Structure formats: structure tokens, C-alpha cells
Structure 1
Amino acid sequence: MTSPWRTEERRELRAMVRRFTEREIVPHLETWEDAGELPRSLHRTAGSLGLLALGFPEAVGGDGDHTDTALVAEELILAGGSSGVCAGLFTHGIAAPHIALHGSPDLVDRFVRPTLRGELIGSLGITEPGTGSDVAAITTRAVRDGEDYVVTGAKTFITSGTRADYVTTAVRTGGPGHRGVSLLVVETDRPGVSRTRLRKMGWHCSDTATISFDEVRVPASHLVGAEGSGFRQIMERFGSERLSLAVQAYATAQRCVDLTIAWAKQRETFGAPLSSRQVVRHRIARMARVTTVARTYVRDVLARWEAGDASGDLVAELAMAKNTAVEACDWVVDQAVQLHGGAGYLHGIEVERHYRDARILGIGGGTNEIMDEVVASRLGLD
């Protein structure tokens, strides 16, 4: 039986992503890391290849499914890219789906279609300085004033926030709790919008910002879906975000396994290659094992999620899959640096970048602790 990951079309997609990564990303990645952001031209190139359209409905200019998007992220990392590149280049995967699924035809035409072509960059604005995983507690307020909403508040840790042309923003249009949350598309060139770049431990090539809204007037037509439906829309998308981060985690682990095997074969100590040392051989074998287990499990959960399984068991397994992949990645990248010795600690060495980048994967999309809480709740431990 042919794996859905190994169809002829997906082999061709994988080969195309590898060529794209080796030609357009790897030679420039260190420069982008130092600059703190990706160039807009990379979005246009990815858009022209159809990579940004994957996972979106055909009705809005999309193509393919979420297995395709996972394959792209996986191969980009395996070919020498990074999870930081994935974060910066594919931010539209969290910024635009709500508009594609629930926005008006005008919003789709103005924001989604040009984003999939690489002409616009979008961000998702949920987290606030005082509110993280508790989405229902957001305080950024949008008050209706005639044909506009007036938005006041701030969002932080916003991926691609310094480059974004628009932010799909969680705002409070009603009372307290989740029923008062809505989504509103806010262009970043509107009066009253200001941005502050944030420096991070990792994901250096993925720009991150705090975005402030000081009585920003936004047309009411920029509301995504009905008032008060924002919380539900956000919850609908958490599954895909968590799976995306899980894929990045196991792909990063696999890349570090590959890099460590190559290093162990060519690095000599006391007249023999590192790969001849049993302690090294067994360490790499364990790295490969935990990576393979994580990849197999995440792919299985992704297949069931793609098939439309919305059961409570799968909700728990989405959380389990993310934590399984993140924990595997954390251990593997640590071992990769250790086995590279002093070279692994040098800035500019690939395993060092993966070590830094991996740390965010257990925080973004719901922390490891939140994932465990999701699982505990589904087990009836409330």
C-alpha cells in the first residue's frame, strides 16, 4: 500500500521544495538571521510556486491539503532551512484561514488571494501583554462607532508583526468571556497602529513584534464572521497550528540526526571516526528512534484530523502528538550539539541554530503544560 506521503505528486512536490530551499533559502539564511527578518521577495517566489496556496480552499485560490503543507515544512527543514523560516514564510497559515473560511467575498479578495500569491503578509493577533493561552480573557477592545470599530489595546509575540500588512486581530466587541470575542482585520498602516520589534532567543529570521492600537478606526466590514464568533473560530484553528509545530519539531529532530551522522563519520578522535565509538553510535541510534516514533505518531494523528475526525479523543491526541514531537526534538537537538562538541556551540553552525529554534516549539500554539491539561481534561481528571 502506497503511503499518502509518497504519491507521485508528493514526490514531485518534495523535490520542488528541496530545490527551492537549496537555491532560495540556504545561501541567504545566515544573512536573514542577522537581519532579523525574511525578505518580502521570498514570499513572492514561494507564492509563484504555489507553496503559499497549499491547505487553502480552491474557492479562495488555494490548492492541496494539510498533508501537503506538512510535507512542505518537513522538506524545507530537511533540506537545510529551519523552523524559523517556516514561521516567517508561512505565517499566513494562521493569519488567513479565518478570513478564507468566514470572511466576506470582499475580505477574501482584498487579503486572502494576494497573500497566497505572496503579495501581502498577514499576522494573527491574539496574545496580549497580560493574556496568553487564556484567549477568553483578552482586553483589546473594538467599540462600534457608526460604520467603524474603534480599536484600543495591544498584542504581543506577534509572528511577522513588523512586516505584516494586516493583522487578523482578536478583539472584544461584547461582554466578558469567550462570547464577547470577535475577529477583525486591521491593516497596519492605519493611523494609531504602532509596532515594536522584539528580539528572541531563537527564530531570528522570523520577525516578532508588539503591536499597539490607539483608537484605530477600522471599517465594520472588516469583521470576520459574526460578532462574538471569534473565540470559536480561533479554537477551530488550534488543531492545525499544533500539528504544524509538531511537524516542525520532528523534522528538526530528523535534520539533526542527519547532521550528526555526517559529523560522526567525518570527525576523527584518537585516530578513528566518532562513529566507531559505541557510546556515540548508540546515542545516535536513540536519536533516530525517538524521532521516528514522533514522526509516525504525528503523521497518524494528522491523517485522522485531515479525514474530519473531530472526536474528543483526537483533540487529546493532537495535544499528545505536539508534546511527543516537541519532547523528542528537545532531546535530539541537545544530543546533536553535545556530539558536535565545541563546534556545536558556535554561532552559524546549523545544529546550534536548531537548538535555539527548537525552544519555542513547546511554547507556541499552546505550551507543553496546556497540552497536558487538555489531555488530563479528556481523561476525566477535572
Structure 2
Amino acid sequence: IKQRWLPAVASGEATVAFALTEPSVGSDAVQLSCSARRDGSDWVINGEKSSITFAGFADGCVVFCRTGGPGARGISMIFVELDREGVTRTKYSSAGGHLTQRGSLFFDEVRVPLGNQIGAEGTGFIGAMEAFDFNRAIIALACIGAARQSLDETIEFTKSRMTFGKPLASREAVAFQIAEHLAFLHATRLVAYEVLIRADAGLNHTAEAAMCKWLGPKQSVEAIHTCLLLHGYPGYGTELPFEQRLADVMGLELGDGTPEIMKAIIAREAFGREFDSYK
């Protein structure tokens, strides 16, 4: 699997999806029901995965399946090529994130070789959580990038937009809003960088990942919203990019963990697992 797919993913020739969420299983992923059973030299997969990024065009996906009993230790990771017999997909109509073609994947007696299993059997849940910790920093940085671009454009706009004989940029009510967003975004970006540094060093970064995943989309949505308003009604139109960016970034408040789950993780890491609010 690695020899065939990793070079293609790295070159951009192939896209791989991460298939964890199910219609009735989101944040409580340990309850997933998509199953894989052994049949000779194959895994046979049945179930549905929902709200999957790249579902509309992915070439393959890592499917989190129940291969054992209940709970986290019964979950394994299996790679599925999405052109296999028994795989179907649908694409959602969402407010934003159109390029990601989020949708559902359906598996009906889909057969893949036993060698498509990733990692040891029963370690899928751990693999998912480790992937989340890293990807949460990437999501935060992506949101911050959209927000900083919006702020840069708004700074230039307010320098030239005249009201009552003065540029908007000279008004404290305008300039201070932008200053606040710049400060919050810069601080959140540093938390995301800390996550990546700690990950590279092999250090625990779960709390920091949750912090930046909560703050990154939240601060970015607020910044882009401000930029839209400071442009007046043209900012609300489709001729300018703010309404699209706002919808795109807002969707990432949900992906890879909701704000409520991020706060629960931060609290759990601070107080200890015996005080976990979701146990």
C-alpha cells in the first residue's frame, strides 16, 4: 500500500480520503458500526461513512472498520481503493468547501486483500486520534491563511476608501478592529506552530492541537466577518471573496472536532481523565 499510494499522493496524482465519521457517529467515533470481516484472503467491508472530505473524487480512502468487539480496541484501519465493486458515493450540497466535495461513501460487500490493513488489528482508533492531533494544526493554519489574506486586502481597501474627508484606516473604530484580529490570529498561529514542533519532537501535543483547532477557525470566522462588513455591501456580494471564505472557514469549525469537543479535550488534559466530561 505504501509503495503504491504514497508516491502518488505526494505528487498530487492521487487523493486519499479519511473515512471515520458515520451518520450517527461523529465525535463519539468509538461507537462506529462500519464492519469488516475476514473471508479467506480478503476483508469484506459493509457500512456507510458520512461527511467525508474528498468523497466526490478521492481515489482511495482509509476506512475505519469494526473488526473486533465493541469499543476502541475493536476498530482497525483498512485501505480501500474506491473503484472497487460495491463502492458507491454521493456528494453533498454545502454552503462552503465546494472544492473538497464532501459526501458519503457506501460499502456493500466490498472485498479488499488482507494486506490492505494499516497497522495492527485493533489499533485503528489510536491511529485516528493521532492523525487528528496533527491535522488540527493544519486546519487552523488554513483558516488563518484565509483570514490574513482578507485582512491584508481590507487594510489596503481602508487606506483608499474615503469617508467624511478621511480614509477609513484613520478611524480608530476601523483600525482597532483590524489590530485586534491581527493579534489574535498571530497568537493562534504560534500555537499551531507549537503543535507541529512538538509533533516533530515526539512530544504530546493533544491539548495544544485542540487549542489551535478551536481558536483557528473561530478567530478566522470573526476576522473575515469583520472584513466583509468593512467593505460594505460590496463585501457581501459574490464579486468579492469574503462570503465564500466565510462559508469555507465556518465549515472547518466542525471538521476534525467541534468547538465543544476541543474544549472538552483541553479540560481533560488539564484536570485529568478521571474528570473527562464525555466518559
Q: TM-score scaled to structure 2, two decimals?
A: 0.93
2:115 equivalent to 1:221: yes
Q: Which residue of 2 aligns with 1:266?
A: 160
**Which residue of structure 1 aligns with residue 220 of structure 2?**
329
* Structure 2: gaps of 5 or more residues: none
1:314-353, aligned counterparts within 5 Å?
Answer: 314-353=205-244
CA distance in 1, matches of 2:50, 2:181: 35
Partner amino acid, structure 1, of 2:18: L
CA RMSD after TM alignment: 1.5
Q: Which amino acid aligns with 1:278?
A: E
Is the CA contact 2:138–2:192 (under 8 Å) kept in the aligned structure 1?
no
Partner secondary structure for residue 379 of structure 1: helix
**Equivalent position of 1:231 in the other structure:** 125
Map of 2:198 onto structure 1 = 304
Equivalent residue number for residue 250 of structure 1: 144
Q: State the 1:189 CA deviation.
A: 1.1
Question: Equivalent residues in 2 for 1:16-35 (5 A)?
Answer: none
| Counterpart selection for 1:176 from 67, 70, 75 | 70
Q: Provide the rounded CA distance (Å) in 2 between the counterparts of 1:297 and 1:376.
A: 17
Return the offset for 1:226.
Answer: 1.8
Distance 2:232 2:178 in 1: 14
1:1-382 matches, cutoff 5 A: 107-310=1-204, 314-380=205-271, 381-382=275-276
Following superposition, the deviation at residue 257 of structure 1 comes to 1.3
Question: What SS is found at the alignment partner of 1:169?
Answer: strand
In 2, the alpha carbon distance for the partners of 1:292 and 1:369 equals 23
| Distance (whole Å) between structure 2 residues aligned to residue 348 and residue 111 of structure 1 | 39
More helix by share: 1
Q: Deviations over 1:278-322 (max 9, x none)?
A: 211222222222222222332233323322212xxx322221122
Q: Counterpart of 1:51?
A: none
Amino acid at match of 1:359: M
How many Å separate the matches in 2 of 1:226 and 1:199?
A: 36
Give the total of aligned pairs: 273
Alpha-carbon distance in 2 for matches of 1:147, 1:305:
36
Equivalent-residue separation in structure 1 for 2:69 and 2:4 (angstroms): 30
SS class of match (1:362) = coil
Residue equivalent to 1:90: none
Q: CA deviation at 1:268?
A: 2.4
**Contact 2:191/2:208 (<8 A) preserved:** no
Show CA shifts across 1:224-253 (max 9, x none): 122111112112211111111111122222
4+ residue segments displaced more than 3 Å: none
- Residue type at the aligned position of 2:233: G
Alpha-carbon shift at residue 258 of structure 1 (Å): 0.5
Q: What SS is found at the alignment partner of 1:349?
A: coil
Query: 1 CA distance for matches of 2:18 and 2:197?
Result: 25
Q: Is the 8 A contact 2:192 2:208 kept in 1?
A: no
The alpha-carbon deviation at position 326 of structure 1 amounts to 2.5
Q: Tell me the distance in 2 between the aligned counterparts of 1:260 and 1:356.
A: 18
1:138 Cα deviation (Å)?
A: 0.8
d(CA) in 1 for partners of 2:241 and 2:200? Answer: 32
TM-score if structure 1 supplies the norm length? Answer: 0.69
Sequence identity of aligned pairs in percent? 37
For 1:307 and 1:330, locate their aligned partners in 2 and report how far apart those are by CA, in whole Å. 31
Q: Is the 2:75–2:125 contact (alpha carbons within 8 Å) kept by the matching residues of 1?
A: yes
Rounded to whole Å, the distance in 2 between the matches of 1:162 and 1:325 is 26
More strand by share: 2
Specify every segment of 5 or more residues in structure 1 that has no aligned partner in the other structure, as ranges: 1-106
Question: Deviation digits for residues 132-186 of structure 1, max 9, x if unmatched?
Answer: 1222111001111111111110011111111111111001111111111011111
Give the residue type in structure 2 aligned to 1:166. G
